[in-house]
Amino acid sequence: MNAPKTEKSDNSHDPRLDDDCPLHWFDADRGAFEDLERRIAEHPADFFASQDFDPVGACATREAQFASVDLPEDPTAPQAHADHLLHDVFRHVMPVASPSFVGHMTSSLPSFMPSLAKIVAALNQNVVKLETSGALTGLERQVIGMLHKLVFAREGDFYAQWLHNPEHSLGAFCAGGTTANLAALWASRNNVLRARDGFAGVHNAGLMAALRHYGYDGLAIVVSERGHYSLRKAADVLGIGRDNLVPVAVDGDGRMRIDKLRDTLGDLQASNIRTMAIVGIAGSTETGAVDPLDAMADVAQEAGCHFHVDAAWGGATLLSERERGRFAGIERADSVVIDAHKQFYVPMGAGMVLFRDPAWTQEIIQHANYIVRKGSVDLGRHTLEGSRGAAAVMLYANLHLLGRKGLARLIDTGIDNAKFFAGLIEQQADFELDSRPQLCILTYRYVPEPVRTALVSASTPAETREQIQQALDALTISIQEMQRDAGRSFVSRTQLTSSQWGGRAIAVFRVVLANPDTTRDILQGVLAEQRALAARSPMLAPLMALV
């Protein structure tokens, strides 16, 4: 049976409203927003390429635009507000869907995504509980199950037994990778310090009581020095402390060194610090490096600690038959984080945490009288977050509309493009590749030929070499900012310990090639633009004076 048919409100006959203050609720004047939809959402890359669009100076000039803290008293007419949004807001966002903006992890989206986002917003379901989400509760569990199988491929009747079991969960959607990592490490902490022998467990008694009961002086999370900053935040939030996120050195390819990992575990044990979790990075944010997951799983197993894999960026690589071998060992993790809003190409923000064993969520389960009741199938019983939108629908659609093969094509294309670009950089006499792409990310910098000659020459004093490196850092930063401000193209930048320069931290350009519309011509254009910008940079002359 159906809900009763309602009349659309008509302001002129609505007893709630008076003429002085029309309420734009279900009014008829939606044309303004439909026009905005056509101009922007039809094909965002075209909007970004149009004459209207102007990302330049969005920071400096925008503060004046957004200075008032007074609430508007009266309603603004829809057309006037739509015009304002177009001219003062959307015209000055960042063109992340532009194929020449290759510095971000969010790129372009499939064409049907904005439509689906509109429908999801209109339905406004809340997946925290069945009563506000209906079929979407089952759909989210299925999508989590699909991803779980992609990662863990559990056998027998595992999925038949657990997929829709209300007392358990194979994982959850989260707002993003940060909350997904936090959720995984929350479950980890609550498992390692769980209830036993009359002790109520860390979740009930708190961390000090738990550490006293277990006889530890602290907990530690061990991760490579390339771990995402969200892990440090998680260590802070969970009461473990940022100093107890212990970094392990990486090899020349940016992968955790297993010998250093073993040293670290030994040191922690000697200090009576319990290693709560070892975290593997499967696609580092800065260079796309993938840790030796299988060897790390061995160490975690020996040490009897949680093995977590942060695959927020790289996880989608598992879709590619050609590339998934790089992730061998991920199926041995206790928990894995993957972001759908990265290489699964759904809109912001959709992270996922997956638990190998459904019992893991027992330590974070909760309930309330008015929601997420005991015994219910409500998803909110097992999640860090409470009320949530139906982000799972977007991923569900992409998995079907693109298929595994289509998504794999996107992954492979990105990696092919990264290899092409790395080769192109190596062919240039005045560019230096810093990190070779494992996935579709790479780093490099502009180094004029005489500078490179001086840097590698045995006759250049160490002090001069260091001065050159500092001047190169300044030039790299200058070029990146000039390129950003010109608004034609974009690469990001970071600072990385460089194995080819004796472990010195150097500033580098960082490129992420996730947009399938990024052509090889565009990449050649990025280098040409950077070379031209270098010639105009005020940081070039001080550098050249050193050689």
Site for its own copies in 422-481 (CB under 8 A): none
User: Between residues 388 and 448, which has the closer beta carbon with respect to its own copies?
Assistant: 388
Per-residue tokens: 491: 């690469």
CA dihedral 455, 457, 463, 469 (to 10 degrees): 0
Distance CA 274, CA 231 (A): 17
Stretch that binds its own copies, among 108-116, 420-428, 449-457, 464-472 (CB under 8 A): 108-116
Residue recorded with tokens 């409203």: 17
User: Between residues 123 and 456, which has the closer beta carbon with respect to its own copies?
Assistant: 123
Residues that bind its own copies (rule: CB under 8 A) add up to a total of: 204
Provide the minimum distance between the beta carbon of 209 and its own copies in the complex, in angstroms, as a whole number: 7
- x-or-dash string of contact with its own copies, 253-292, rule CB under 8 A: --------------------------------xx------
Q: 370 exposed, middle or buried (CB, 10 Å; 0-12, 13-18, 19+)?
A: exposed
Q: Please report whether residue 92 would count as binding its own copies according to CB under 8 A.
A: yes
Question: Which residues in 366-395 contact its own copies (CB under 8 A)?
Answer: 366-372, 377, 384-390, 393
Q: Which of 257, 404, 419, 452 binds its own copies (CB under 8 A)?
A: 404
Residue recorded with tokens 């056998």: 155
Question: Which string of DSSP letters, residue by residue, matches 166-226?
Answer: TT--SEEEESSHHHHHHHHHHHHHHHHT--BTTB--HHHH-HHHHHHHHT-SEEEEEEETT
User: Between residues 409 and 452, which has the closer beta carbon with respect to its own copies?
Assistant: 409
User: Between residues 299 and 364, which has the closer beta carbon with respect to its own copies?
Assistant: 364
Distance CA 24, CA 280 (A): 51
Q: How many CB atoms lie within 10 A of CB 329?
A: 19
Distance CA 197, CA 165 (A): 28
Stretch that binds its own copies, among 36-44, 274-282, 354-362, 448-456 (CB under 8 A): 36-44
Measured N-to-C along each axis, helices 258-270 and 293-303 cross at an angle, to the nearest 10 degrees, of 20
Question: Which residues in 110-139 contact its own copies (CB under 8 A)?
Answer: 110-126, 130-139
The number of CA neighbours under 13 Å toward the Cβ of 100 is 18
Q: Which of 264, 361, 476, 492 binds its own copies (CB under 8 A)?
A: 492
Question: Which residues in 50-79 contact its own copies (CB under 8 A)?
Answer: 50-51, 53-56, 58-59, 62-63, 65-76, 78
User: Between residues 290 and 546, which has the closer beta carbon with respect to its own copies?
Assistant: 290
Measured distance between the N- and C-terminal CA atoms of the chain, rounded to whole angstroms? 82
- x-or-dash string of contact with its own copies, 506-545, rule CB under 8 A: ----x-----xx----x--x--------------------
Question: Which residues in 335-354 contact its own copies (CB under 8 A)?
Answer: 339, 341, 347-349
Question: Which residues in 11-30 contact its own copies (CB under 8 A)?
Answer: 16-17, 21, 23-27, 30
3-state secondary structure of 4: coil
